[in-house]
């Protein structure tokens, strides 16, 4: 066999192996969470909603770029379920990307956890109520998020509600830090990780059901089965 024939056969073998890989396994987050998908969520928000002209898919993708393992490090189905789960919680907590801030946050307490104030001291006059796609709350989350994504979370918590890139980065940071590790236990485990004390074990079943509804819808949009253990 000639040298040329050997190399031709070798190249053909490589091409055959590569082409046998399922291309869906390599779908990027942007391929899954398309502009049409994002618009389908925010399009349900009333035109008067603050989030309508605040949240953007570009800011979401910019945040994801800072956390390259988000929606990419599992199987094709796992990646789709993670993205579906993230947006299910976002849709629930913001009412389809309508709200930027917690609805009663401005009149609630400061959300200053004094037990963690040594490491994350609360700035007088600042309130750490829910803001952003996953409604970042409490001084320790603002402080830790600020360190991770480089903004002054304790002195300027308002930035999560005024700068869309910071807003989505804070949400993806929270997801990667506190939620993503339990995805393999089912969607119910992610509810517990986000708001288990207030919603799980029968504390607020309608809220749980709303999160599950969004998750199942987005899984259907992505053509993936939602799996088991959906509730907490």
Instruction: Enumerate the active-site residues.
Output: 93
Question: In terms of C-beta distances under 8 Å and separation of at least 24 residues, what long-range contacts does 17-26 make, across chains too?
Answer: 22/76, 24/76, 25/75, 25/76
Query: Is residue 66 within 8 Å of residue 172, measured between CB atoms?
Result: yes
How far is it, in rounded angstroms, from Cα 137 to Cα 104? 13
From the number of C-beta atoms within 10 Å of its C-beta (0-12, 13-18, 19+), residue 207 rates as middle
Q: Which residues contact 78 (CB under 8 A, 6 or more apart)?
A: 183
Beta-bridge partner residues of 101: 131
Q: In angstroms, what is the C-alpha Rg of the chain?
A: 21
Query: Is residue 91 within 8 Å of residue 122, measured between CB atoms?
Result: no
Q: Which two tokens stand for residue 71?
A: 């929606």
Question: In terms of C-beta distances under 8 Å and separation of at least 24 residues, what long-range contacts does 204-212 make, across chains too?
Answer: 207/92, 208/232, 210/92, 211/88, 211/89, 211/92, 211/187, 212/88, 212/187
């Amino acid at each position: 066999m000639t040298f040329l024939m050997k190399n031709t056969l070798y190249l053909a073998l490589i091409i055959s192996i590569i082409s046998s890989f399922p291309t869906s396994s390599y779908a990027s987050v942007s391929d899954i969470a398309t502009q049409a998908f994002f618009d389908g969520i925010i399009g349900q928000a009333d035109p008067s909603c603050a989030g309508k002209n605040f949240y953007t898919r570009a800011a979401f993708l910019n945040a994801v770029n800072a956390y390259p393992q988000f929606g990419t490090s599992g199987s094709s189905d796992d990646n789709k379920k993670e993205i579906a789960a993230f947006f299910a919680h976002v849709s629930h907590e913001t009412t389809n990307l309508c709200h930027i801030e917690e609805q009663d946050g401005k009149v609630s307490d400061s959300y200053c956890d004094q037990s963690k104030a040594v490491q994350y001291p609360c700035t007088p006059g600042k309130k750490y109520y829910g803001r952003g796609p996953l409604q970042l709350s409490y001084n320790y989350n603002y402080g830790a998020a600020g360190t991770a994504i480089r903004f002054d979370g304790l002195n300027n918590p308002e930035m999560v509600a005024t700068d869309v890139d910071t807003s989505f980065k804070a949400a993806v940071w929270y997801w990667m830090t506190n939620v993503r590790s339990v995805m393999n236990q089912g969607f119910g485990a992610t509810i517990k990780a986000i708001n288990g004390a207030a919603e799980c074990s029968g504390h607020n079943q309608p809220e749980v059901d709303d999160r599950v509804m969004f998750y199942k819808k987005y899984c259907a949009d992505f053509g993936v089965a939602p799996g088991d253990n959906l509730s907490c």
